[in-house]
Structure 1
Amino acid sequence: MKATIERLNQYIGQEVRFGAWLANKRSSGKIAFLQLRDGTGFVQGVIVKNDVGEELFAQAKNLPQESSLYVDGTVKEDDRSPTGVELQVTGFEIIQEAEAYPITPKEHGTEFLMDNRHLWMRSRKQHALLRIRDEIIQATYAFFRENQFIKVDPPILTGSSAEGTTSLFHTKYFDEDAYLSQSGQLYMEAAALAFQRVFSFGPTFRAEKSKTRRHLIEFWMIEPEMAFCDHNESLEIQEQYVSHVVQAVLANCRQELTTLERDTSKLETIQAPFPRITYDKAVEMLQEAGYEVSWGEDFGAPHETYIAEQFQKPVFITNYPLEIKAFYMKPDPDYPETALCADLIAPEGYGEIIGGSQRIDDPQLMKQRYEEHNLSEEAYGWYLDLRKYGTVPHSGFGLGLERTVGWIAGTEHVRETIPFPRLLNRLYP
């Protein structure tokens, strides 16, 4: 019976065969214990000398780490195993005896592991992290499909910046200047006025020379945009979406969370609604706690961490000053010095995972913003067109996938939440 490790619990008492790699091994007298992985999971294979013969047993004991093989055996129930089963090995066929594997069970430095990222991702914890990432992606597609969103793909090469900033990767597009996308948001606004509810999911790039544990040069963003949607409705969708993703990971990645030693009790409380405070209140809280922060300043990591520590769930900070936010954000009619916007701050020091706002829908106000931010109609004329031909209230947000994976999985640095991270000084492998 051809099987995978992930589904061995469906074959208890049966003979199975699967392809695997030898992750580790140990032996005790006439018994050897093989830690096997096949990409879907890990399982212990027990091989007894008297059952398989001296020659095969000797081969098993001498197999180098990461050798590949086809394994035959009987699935046995085992309550001590994280998977609930182990394999009584009856035979195996060696595909390749691996060379000396550079990543051993001993401790290795981060730079060494990052140089060997193509191999490090095979390890249990890295494997668990990337499976959690996949679950979040699958839950994302399910949530938006269930809520009548369609996926639209924005371009990666653009002629302008989404937020009018300078942290862009410049390239040449034949004889024109072009940039790697910071965000698909502007294009999602165009799509929302065609399809009402849309989302994009793809890579974005920020040329920021940052080395913090929260930053990557290339990262993936989920960016929904909704027509006929105000700021409050957008906040409700955001908290429902985040709740859905967390609960999906809890339901489908228990073993991975255990491997990562994640305290799941902190995740089990993540259900909408989430608390909301204004920027004004956040400044007041920080000042009372002794932080030197003035109204009109953006918050840094220590500020966000302190605020998050005051709540058990992710917290929305709303109504940031208009001057420190992007040109397209709509002013709050009741507090015009601030924007109808919010950042969602994750618990446990993981910082902002979502930024969102209601967008300006008034063509005259948008034209005024172009002038204030020195934006050319040559580059942004198409975006202004969206306000000329059937403008409506619309809102959207962007969720950073890697920060979200880091928070849910409980890992310290976002570099481990993406298969091949791009950091300030790392373009290899």
Structure 2
Amino acid sequence: MSLQPTTTVARIAGYVGETVTLAGWVYHKTGKGKLVFLLLRDGSGTIQCVIFKKQVSETTFALAQQLGQEAACRVTGSVRADERAPGGFELDVHELELVGPSVEYPISPKDHGVEFLMEHRHLWVRSARQHALLRVRAEVIAAAQEWLNEQGFIRFDSPILTATAAEGTSNLFATDYFDLGKAYLAQTGQLYVEAGMMAFGKVYCFGPTFRAEKSKTRRHLTEFWMIEPEVAFADHEDNLVLQEQFVSAIVQRVLERRAADLDVLERDTTVLKRCVPPFPRISYDDALELINAHQGEVEGATPVPWGEDFGAPHEQLIASQFDRPVFVERYPAAIKAFYMEPDPARPEVALCADLLAPEGYGEIIGGSQRIHDPDLLERRINEHGLDVADYRWYLDLRRYGTVPHSGFGMGIERAVAWITGTRHIRETIPFPRMLYRIYP
């Protein structure tokens, strides 16, 4: 006999007056004499199941009384509409089958500290808030890929193990690679995606990336997921337009399809509804003036000398002056990656931009026009102290049919944190990897 249920909680509205079987876990249980109320979750939603002693066998009623939090069971009963019930429907139970017991479930309804919950992350993901966060995460990922697919992009997977640093930094996780020396966990798939761009025109990669930065801020993970589009025959302006269309499409889809989850998270969606193009744009120079004019409004947002990068307080201050995401463009080339195209009118700055989310969430996208001249790219590789031999293949892309091209990378976890209003990025990925966290 199949163990599959008749339907799911999410589809229960189509079965009012009918008898169905649901399969799930006991999220909560209360009893009142001859009545037992089970709040059953099945991954798609929750529904209240009512067990009335007179309508079931003595064995079934006794089982209902003994069920522990998170016990797995199958319940059969008739579906009834009830506005007072969670979700608007209830199940009057006829039969109850225990599939998997649960005794003394560690995460009880009482408050628990963050460290305890992180130690039990494998169970914490079952809770209502974490469940809602990860459903939104799944929607963001689906929306991002499907939108790019609809625009004619091809997914072009990049390697996780690489022979060199993509961005010339030392913050890499290294491992021995047989007899070939060291290999590194990828910081980005971008350089490889550029090869795909030259083959297909419009491509993207999506996968985990790694940064061995010893950072403990609420915005950093050592392992995170990034989606990175790359477009041939596209300049800096084309890149910004693509980014604002991309982000807006994702946010609007989450608002449409995950409204119930945003309600669980108590997310104020006012700012999300304003996330429509065009996004405001300011230069790095204008951002410096803005910081000087508003210093003191955000703790830590002290003046920045020209040529230095912004910290989290500076990004928060800049974004607070706008009602939707804002681009900060044309950063000093010296503080950006070697492959970014210099502004021909002002070579000391790069044709690049960071997209800052409102409400203090900071950078969610970084992108640029890429250098397409092979001689200039080789000079920049040397200026960054990198070995040109390691980048022979990357230079080949400029030697055989080079074209102006642009791209960007969006960190999934940072985007989800902003969209859901979650203060710490650790809750936006199923199993976060941080400076002091690799278990479970």
- CA RMSD of superposed structures (Å): 1.2
- 1:92 aligned onto 2:103: no
Please tell me whether the aligned partners of residues 170 and 178 of structure 1 are also in contact (alpha carbons under 8 angstroms).
yes
Structure 1 counterpart of 2:424, one-letter code: H
User: 2:299 — aligned with what?
Assistant: none
Please tell me whether the aligned partners of residues 20 and 37 of structure 1 are also in contact (alpha carbons under 8 angstroms).
yes
Shift of residue 370 of structure 1? 1.5
- 1:243 aligned onto 2:248: yes
User: 2:430 — aligned with what?
Assistant: 419
Please tell me whether the aligned partners of residues 9 and 83 of structure 1 are also in contact (alpha carbons under 8 angstroms).
no
Gaps of 5+ in 1: none
State the distance in 2 between where 1:248 and 1:12 align: 29
State the distance in 2 between where 1:188 and 1:211 align: 30
- 1:137 aligned onto 2:148: no
The one of 90, 102, 107 equivalent to 2:106 is: 102
Alignment length, in residue pairs? 429
- 1:229 aligned onto 2:245: no
Structure 1 counterpart of 2:189, one-letter code: G
User: 1:381 — aligned with what?
Assistant: 392
State the distance in 2 between where 1:171 and 1:364 align: 32
- 1:323 aligned onto 2:342: no
Shift of residue 53 of structure 1? 4.4
User: 2:298 — aligned with what?
Assistant: none
Structure 1 counterpart of 2:341, one-letter code: K
Shift of residue 276 of structure 1? 0.7
Please tell me whether the aligned partners of residues 46 and 86 of structure 2 are also in contact (alpha carbons under 8 angstroms).
no
Shift of residue 351 of structure 1? 0.8
**3-state DSSP of counterpart to 2:87:** coil
Shift of residue 295 of structure 1? 1.2
Shift of residue 377 of structure 1? 2.1
Q: What's the CA shift string for 1:189-239, capped at 9, x where partnerless?
A: 111001000000000000001111100000000000000011111111111
Shift of residue 81 of structure 1? 4.3
State the distance in 2 between where 1:77 and 1:232 align: 53
User: 1:258 — aligned with what?
Assistant: 263
Return the TM-score normalized by structure 2: 0.95
The one of 194, 199, 205 equivalent to 1:200 is: 205
Show structure 1 runs of 4+ deviating over 3 A: none
Please tell me whether the aligned partners of residues 82 and 255 of structure 1 are also in contact (alpha carbons under 8 angstroms).
no
Q: What's the CA shift string for 1:109-168, capped at 9, x where partnerless?
A: 111111111111011111111111111111112101110000011000001111100100
State the distance in 1 between where 2:78 and 2:269 align: 33
**Residues 1-400 of structure 1 correspond to what in structure 2 (within 5 A)?**
2-81=6-85, 83-175=87-179, 176-290=181-295, 291-400=302-411
Gaps of 5+ in 2: 296-301
State the distance in 1 between where 2:438 and 2:362 align: 25
Please tell me whether the aligned partners of residues 83 and 255 of structure 1 are also in contact (alpha carbons under 8 angstroms).
no
Structure 1 counterpart of 2:267, one-letter code: R
